[in-house]
């Protein structure tokens, strides 16, 4: 708003100055075009200066951005946590609500038994000290978006036997759990600001897969994660993300 106001003031000042010149030279058409051009230049310059100042001062509207990959974190020998990094690349300071907004299973993208209970709100690590994301907070913040847990069954002659890994939504372990297979689980993470309806939500789809393999005294499965710009399509029509998104 300030850039519009400053540009308008400059525009009016240019018109007044050039109208004086018009009456002095009696060149109405030429002075009108000059007034228009000078006014536009004032408005563009004021807009650019205002944006630069807003960027440096951290003012302006927040803009949420989600990382394109998940960070794997060990919980214990049989459990792993997947964390997602979130930034505010705009102005102001916000504490977004992050949630799992959708979840699909397998290449056919079937709904889950808990689909009708979505979305699930994801808890921050320290609920008593919620993060305030700003542009200056360049490292962003991470939040757990998925947990994978297995169970040690028995020790075989050459390898440890494990149960198939299970996928959980953090904070809703009792309501949202699925067996993790090679076909994978697709879930959409969404970050919103309920108290700032003018802030556009940020969202991204992720896919987790579990691959079985044989090994000596090691886990009998491996995990892989992928991300997507938009809702995936069944089987071969998947819209995979091959390069990081532009901030």
* Number of Cβ within a 10 Å radius of residue 37: 12
pLDDT digits (tens, 9 = 90+) for 66-98: 999 999 898 887 888 999 999 999 999 999 999
Q: How confident is the model at residue 3 (pLDDT cuts 50, 70, 90)?
A: very low
**CA atoms within a 13 Å half-sphere pointing along the CA-CB vector of 90:** 14
Contact predicate 164/149, CB 8 Å: no
pLDDT digits (tens, 9 = 90+) for 127-183: 788 999 999 888 899 999 999 988 766 655 555 566 678 899 998 888 888 988 888
Is 38:13 a contact under the CB 8 Å cutoff?
no
217 contacts 160 by C-beta, under 8 angstroms:
yes
Q: Where are the beta strands (DSSP E) in the chain?
A: 64-66, 71-76, 79-88, 97-105, 110-111, 120-121, 141-149, 152-155, 160-162, 166-168, 177-179, 185-192, 202-212, 221-228
The CA angle 76-218-68, to the nearest 5 degrees, is 60
8-state DSSP, 233? -
Mention every residue, 6+ apart, whose C-beta is less than 8 A from residue 200. Answer: 63, 64
Radius of gyration (C-alpha) of the chain in whole angstroms: 27
The single residue listed with the structure tokens 């921050």 is 124
Domain limits, the chain: 2-57, 64-237
pLDDT band at 46 (very low <50, low <70, confident <90, very high): low
């Amino acid at each position: 708003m300030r850039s519009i106001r400053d540009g308008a003031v400059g525009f009016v000042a240019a018109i007044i100055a050039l109208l004086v010149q018009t009456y002095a030279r009696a060149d109405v058409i030429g002075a009108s075009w000059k007034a228009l051009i000078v006014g536009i230049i004032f408005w563009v310059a004021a807009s650019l200066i205002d944006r630069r100042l807003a960027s440096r001062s951290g003012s302006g509207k927040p803009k949420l951005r989600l990382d394109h990959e998940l960070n794997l974190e060990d919980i214990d020998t049989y459990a792993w946590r997947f964390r997602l990094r979130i930034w505010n690349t705009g102005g102001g300071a916000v504490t977004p609500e992050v949630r799992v907004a959708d979840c699909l299973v397998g290449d056919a993208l079937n709904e889950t038994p808990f689909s009708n209970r979505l979305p699930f709100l994801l808890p921050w690590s320290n609920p008593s000290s919620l993060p305030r994301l700003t542009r200056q907070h360049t490292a962003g913040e991470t939040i757990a978006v998925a947990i994978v847990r297995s169970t040690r069954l028995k020790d075989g002659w050459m390898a440890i036997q494990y149960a198939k890994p299970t996928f959980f939504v953090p904070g809703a372990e009792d309501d949202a759990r699925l067996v993790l297979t090679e076909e994978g689980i697709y879930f959409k993470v969404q970050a919103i600001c309920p108290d700032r309806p003018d802030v556009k939500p940020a969202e991204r789809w992720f896919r987790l897969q579990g691959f079985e393999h044989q090994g000596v005294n090691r886990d009998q499965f491996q995990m892989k994660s992928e991300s997507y710009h938009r809702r995936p399509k069944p089987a071969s029509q998947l819209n995979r993300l091959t390069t990081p998104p532009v901030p």
